[in-house]
Amino acid sequence: MIMKAAVSLLAIRLASAHIEMNWPYPLRSKYDPDTPTSLIDYSMTDPLKSDGSNFPCKGYISNTPWRSVTSYMAGQKYNISLAGSATHGGGSCQLSLSYDNGTSFHVIESMEGGCPLESSYDFNMPSDVANGDALFAWTWFNYEGNREMYMNCADVTISGGQGTADSFESAYPEIFVANVGNGCQTIEMQETVFAHPGNQVIYGSGVTSSSPPSPSCA
Ligand SMILES: *[C@@H]1O[C@H](CO)[C@@H](O)[C@H](O)[C@H]1NC(C)=O
Ligand SMILES: *[C@@H]1O[C@H](CO)[C@@H](O)[C@H](O)[C@H]1NC(C)=O
């Protein structure tokens, strides 16, 4: 009886506490002082639905008024921060940008293995990005536990870039998408290694630049 209660308590804890990006402020974040109370998503740490119905960005692009939360200067160094307690042993994350309202996301940095065991990650905003409004996304494939994809997106403004949306999209790979009913699943207790990680990569938990892509999805 006692053990059963302990097990269900653990299950509740795992189900309710994962990880969320808390800077830059994602759409509907409780950390953003300008998010109207009625729009706050108190379950921001939840993964995307396994049927893909709220991919991308937890379904918040078209129903959340656009408001830039930060400005990035191309070529400069920035960081993201993450909050929450259940890191599920880490996994692999990507940082990406969308210039087409979430139709496509292209990767500016990958953290392969050990992400998000740290609560902050640095990245360089590449010099050849396009200027203007963009969606900035953090995605995560957890190492342990249910096969899930996490995705938080922020409205940002970029300046100083030398590229166009088209040149950026052809130079940077599309984000990896799995565990959202698209026929691709990550493998539990195996670090996700992206076939196309882009040109800024942070390695952790034994993953190196010669680790083969995993999983191999078409
Ligand atoms: C992240 O960047 C901000 C400045 O933009 C800085 O104040 C903060 O210390 C950085 N955090 C880490 C962990 O490097
Ligand atoms: C994205 O959609 C919003 C309205 O949903 C629109 O105002 C904006 O111009 C769109 N941006 C792009 C880059 O298409």
In a domain? residue 9? no
Hey, what are 116's tokens? 């998000």
Does the N-terminal peptide bond of residue 215 adopt cis geometry, omega within 30 degrees of 0?
yes
- Per-residue pLDDT, 14: 46
pLDDT band at 186 (very low <50, low <70, confident <90, very high): very high
Mean pLDDT of 96-111: 98
Continuous H helices in the chain? 2-16, 165-171
Hey, what are 145's tokens? 């536990």
Name which of 123, 70, 67, 52 is nearest 94 in CA terms: 123
In a domain? residue 209? no
Q: For the purposes of burial, counting CB atoms within 10 Å of the CB of 112, is it exposed (0-12), middle (13-18) or buried (19 or more)?
A: buried
How many domains in the chain? Answer: 1
Task: Give, using CA atoms, the residue closest to atom 2 of ligand 2.
Answer: 101
Mean pLDDT of 91-120: 96
In a domain? residue 8? no
In a domain? residue 12? no
- Per-residue pLDDT, 43: 94
Task: Give, using CA atoms, the residue closest to atom 13 of ligand 2.
Answer: 100
> d(Cα 33, Cα 23) in Å, to the nearest integer?
12
- Per-residue pLDDT, 1: 43
- Per-residue pLDDT, 195: 96
- Per-residue pLDDT, 5: 47
In a domain? residue 106? yes
Range of the domain at 135: 17-203
In a domain? residue 52? yes
pLDDT value at 8 more than 80: no
Ligand 1 atom nearest residue 120's Cα: 13
For a mutational test of ligand 1's pocket, the pick from 71, 72, 79, 82, i.e. the residue with the most ligand atoms closer than 8 A to its C-beta, is: 79
In a domain? residue 7? no
| CATH code of the domain covering residue 126 | 2.70.50.70
Greater model confidence, 15 or 61: 61
Which pTM does this prediction carry?
0.90
Mean pLDDT of 71-96: 93
Ligand 2 atom nearest residue 61's Cα: 5
pLDDT value at 11 more than 60: no
In a domain? residue 166? yes
pLDDT value at 57 more than 50: yes
For a mutational test of ligand 1's pocket, the pick from 70, 81, 120, i.e. the residue with the most ligand atoms closer than 8 A to its C-beta, is: 120
The average confidence (pLDDT) of the chain is: 92
- CA dihedral over 75, 34, 63, 15, signed as positive or negative: positive
